Amino acid sequence: MALELAHENIWFDKWRADDAERQFYENKAQGGHSGSAGGSGASSDVLNRITKLEGENKNLSSTVSSLEQTILTLTKRLEMLECDDKTTTAPTSASPKKPVPMETEDDDDDDDVDLFGSDDEDDEAAARVREERIKAYAEKKAKKPGPIAKSSVLLDCKPWDDETDMFVMETEVRKIVMDGLVWGAAKLVPLAYGIQKLSILCTVEDEKVSIDDLSEKIQEIENYVQSVDIAAFNKV
């Protein structure tokens, strides 16, 4: 019987094969779960990249459309400008040229003939009239009065002592009359020891009134005026 079993095809180590097969499938199952987790992470990364690319593509599409619209607008404006140039240049190019008069021998002959005599006398008369008018204008301009130069002068009239009647002094000073002299305001200013001076303002025309002459006239009032000083002098 043992000899018969030796000739039969019997798998004595099948249990080992079964164990190896079971272990193979378990390992495969474990590897499959880990791969599915990694695959889910990879798929989410791919989805994020796809979403980002779609957003960029959308932005690029909007930019391209705006550029296309701008190009169309510029093209239309360029066509309008070209049309305007054509309309403005067309009349000038089509405008007829003025005919140039041709010189003939008859015209040359007419130039040599003086039908009305020489014009030298007329030229001399015109030049004489022009010179007379220029001369008259210059004389008129010279006679025209220019601006009158005036000055504002403040005079200090000092009395002899404190007993001098200052109101009478002012009255006597204002009695001085000169062509181009206008008296202004006056006031009494204390000096010292009860003595006051008369500060009186006047306006004079520079060409007509001399301040030195006016000062001398005021000093001629000897009973009231001791001296005269120029406190201020301004051009008006």
Residue 159 lies in a domain: yes
Residue finishing a domain among 92, 107, 122: 92
CA 66 to chain centre: 37
In a domain, 230, yes or no: yes
- pLDDT average per 10 residues of sequence, the chain (236 residues): 50 70 78 52 74 83 87 88 71 52 52 53 82 84 74 93 91 92 92 90 91 92 92 88
Q: Which among 182, 218, 176 has a CA at the least distance from the CA of 197?
A: 218
Q: Is residue 119 part of a domain?
A: no
| CA 236 to the chain's CA centroid | 37
pLDDT on residue 213: 92
How far apart (Å, rounded) are the C-alpha atoms in residues 203 and 233? 10
Select from 77, 92, 107 the last residue of a domain: 92
Residue 5's pLDDT is 46
Structure tokens belonging to residue 29: 């199952």
- Residue 204 domain flag: yes
Q: What is the dihedral of CA 213, 218, 219, 222, to 10 degrees?
A: 150
Distance, CA of 191 to chain centre: 58
159 CB contacts (<8 Å, ≥6 apart)?
A: 166, 169, 195, 196, 197, 198, 224, 225, 226
Provide the pLDDT for residue 97. Answer: 55
| Residues in contact with 18: Cβ distance below 8 Å, sequence separation at least 6, in sequence order | none
Alpha helices in the chain (DSSP H): 2-7, 14-94, 105-112, 120-143, 166-174, 211-219
Q: Structural domain tally of the chain? A: 2
In a domain, 231, yes or no: yes
Task: Answer whether 216's CB lies under 8 Å from 228's CB.
Answer: no
For 196, the domain range is 150-235
Residue 26 within a domain: yes
Q: What is the CATH number of the domain that holds 160?
A: 3.30.70.60
The reply to whether 117 falls in a domain is no
Sign of the alpha-carbon dihedral angle for 114, 115, 117, 119: negative
Asked if residue 64 is part of any domain, the answer here is yes
What is the structure's pLDDT at 100?
A: 54
Residue that finishes a domain, picked among 54, 73, 92: 92
